[in-house]
């Protein structure tokens, strides 16, 4: 009598071999899923991106492929195409010889299943197996060619991006230089007009103070002292006006071939007289030969930079002046270990009338920058508060457009 319960009827229909089939298909699906997981995770796990990781990934794929092929009728299976996965992966990561070696290994793994075939059947299987091995090698070679072309295109694209970034940076620097030149020109015109207008009344005031001092009686010491104050302050104002005119006046570069170390020595000697408590070290590159420059103007540049470095250095400290040749330029570095420059002032220290000194007027570095620009050069600065500052002056050794040497990592001011 048939059981009335439907569940019991289904249970009676399930045979042990049916359970075995279900388990086998589940195992087949798990092996295919594992192979897919390895293929997906290979590009996402950093450990698998290393040479050892790539070899380990290929080994896992080969093991899974061998199990699948052996599980599905060996040499007569359709799953032999899964061997293309490790071969193509090798083509995208290894060289041509590595790819061919992996393809050869894949063919050997596949041919290993001939050991389960009777010798009498080898003639039937061999032509097809050889053809499949050739297909594996062809697929690997094609993958290598495509990957190599892709790598070459990526390299070219990266180089183009770097060139575009460098060109964009040069354009930005050129635009900033134009804006700065416009500001300097406007300030120069204003300074020149103001200086000329102030010169005449200053001369009158000083002459009047001298006449007043001569006409005063000897007993009136207070009046004589006040007249002396007027004359000294007028002299100080005239000195300031002279600096305004130096900044505003167009520079005439008289370039002659000369030895830059001699110009540096004169500038350092003048700074030594004004900063006796500072040690000055010279580190000159012997390979630098004569090149054209205006020695008088550059002496002013180097003196200003060396004196500023000495003033920023504590008594007993040291200032280093260093030269080196770099890609058609002479680089002069003035190095101190002083208090450094506030990062927010780096971009403005070369602007006219900017100064952090209580008694400064902010024209020294502006004039320095102007002289360097007129030589076709460039001045840069890098500084860290509490550790010191490095000013670098780049001077071209031959006439031509200014182009900073490659590898420069300083901050342009």
As a whole number of angstroms, the distance between CA 19 and CA 30 comes to 16
Burial (Cβ within 10 Å: 0-12, 13-18, ≥19) of residue 284:
middle
Q: State residue 399's pLDDT score.
A: 61
Domain ranges of the chain: 6-155, 184-248, 255-412
Question: What pLDDT is attached to residue 242?
Answer: 73
Give how far Cα 277 sits from Cα of 286, 371, 391, Å.
28, 29, 21
Q: Which of these, 318, 322, 336, 333, lies nearest to 387 by C-alpha position? A: 336
Domain 184-248 maps to which CATH number in 1.10.287, 3.40.1130, 1.20.140, 1.10.1760?
1.10.287
Token pair recorded at residue 266: 């004169």
Q: DSSP assignment of 15-81, as one string?
A: -HHHHHHHHHHHHHHHHHHHHHHHHHHTTT-GGGGSHHHHHHHHHHHHHHHHHHHHHTTGGG-GGGG
pLDDT at res. 172: 86
pLDDT at 387: 87
pLDDT value for 412: 38
- Is the model's pTM score more than 0.85? no
What's phi and psi for 377, nearest 5 deg? -105, -165
Average pLDDT, the chain: 76
At 42, phi and psi to the nearest 5?
A: -60, -35
Distance, CA of 401 to chain centre: 23
How far is the C-alpha of 390 from the C-alpha of 321, rounded, in Å?
Answer: 10
Dig out the tokens for 76 from the structure. 């007569």
CATH architecture of 255-412: 2-Layer Sandwich (3.30)
Report the pLDDT value the prediction gives residue 3, as an integer from 0 to 100: 53
Structure tokens at 350: 């070369």
**Alpha carbon distance 203, 184 (integer Å):** 28
β 279-283/318-326 pair status: parallel
Which residues of the chain are modeled with pLDDT < 50? 1, 401-404, 406-413
The structure tokens 């058609």 sit at 328
Q: What is the pLDDT of residue 1?
A: 47
Angstrom distance (rounded) from CA 285 to CA 303: 19
Q: Which of 303, 231, 313 is nearest to 278 (CA)?
A: 313
**According to the model, what pLDDT value does residue 269 have?**
92
């Amino acid at each position: 009598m048939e059981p009335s319960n439907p569940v019991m009827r289904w249970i009676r229909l399930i045979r042990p071999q049916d359970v075995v089939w279900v388990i086998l298909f589940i195992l087949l699906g798990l092996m295919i899923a594992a192979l897919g997981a390895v293929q997906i995770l290979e590009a996402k796990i950093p450990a698998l991106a290393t040479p050892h990781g790539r070899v380990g990934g290929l080994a896992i794929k080969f093991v899974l492929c061998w199990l699948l092929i052996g599980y599905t009728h060996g040499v007569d299976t359709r799953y032999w195409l899964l061997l293309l996965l490790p071969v193509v992966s090798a083509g995208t990561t290894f060289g041509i010889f590595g790819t061919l070696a992996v393809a050869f290994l894949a063919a050997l793994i596949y041919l290993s299943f001939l050991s389960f075939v009777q010798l009498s059947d080898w003639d039937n299987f061999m032509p097809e197996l050889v053809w499949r091995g050739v297909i594996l090698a062809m697929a690997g070679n094609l993958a290598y060619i495509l990957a190599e072309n892709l790598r070459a295109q990526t390299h070219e694209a990266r180089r183009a991006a770097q060139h575009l970034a460098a060109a964009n940076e040069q354009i930005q620097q050129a635009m900033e230089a134009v804006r700065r030149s416009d500001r300097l020109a406007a300030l120069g015109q204003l300074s020149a007009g103001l200086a000329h207008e102030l010169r005449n009344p200053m001369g009158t005031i000083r002459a009047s103070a001298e006449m007043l001092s001569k006409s005063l009686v000897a007993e009136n010491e207070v009046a004589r002292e006040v007249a002396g104050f007027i004359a000294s302050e007028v002299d100080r104002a005239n000195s300031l006006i002279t600096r305004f005119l130096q900044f505003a006046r167009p520079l005439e570069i008289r370039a002659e071939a000369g030895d830059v170390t001699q110009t540096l020595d004169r500038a350092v000697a003048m700074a030594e007289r004004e900063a006796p408590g500072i040690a000055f070290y010279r580190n000159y590159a012997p390979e630098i030969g004569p090149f054209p420059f205006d020695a008088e103007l550059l002496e002013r540049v180097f003196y200003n930079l060396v004196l500023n470095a000495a003033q920023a250095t504590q008594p007993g400290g040291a200032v280093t002046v260093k030269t080196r040749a770099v890609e058609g330029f002479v680089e002069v570095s003035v190095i101190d270990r002083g208090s450094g420059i506030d990062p927010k002032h780096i971009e403005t220290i070369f602007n006219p009338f900017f100064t952090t000194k209580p008694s400064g007027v902010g024209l020294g570095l502006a004039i320095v920058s102007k002289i360097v620009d007129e030589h076709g050069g460039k001045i840069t600065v890098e500084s860290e508060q509490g550790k010191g500052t490095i000013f670098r002056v780049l001077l071209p050794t031959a006439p031509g457009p200014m182009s900073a040497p490659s590898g420069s990592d300083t901050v342009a001011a």
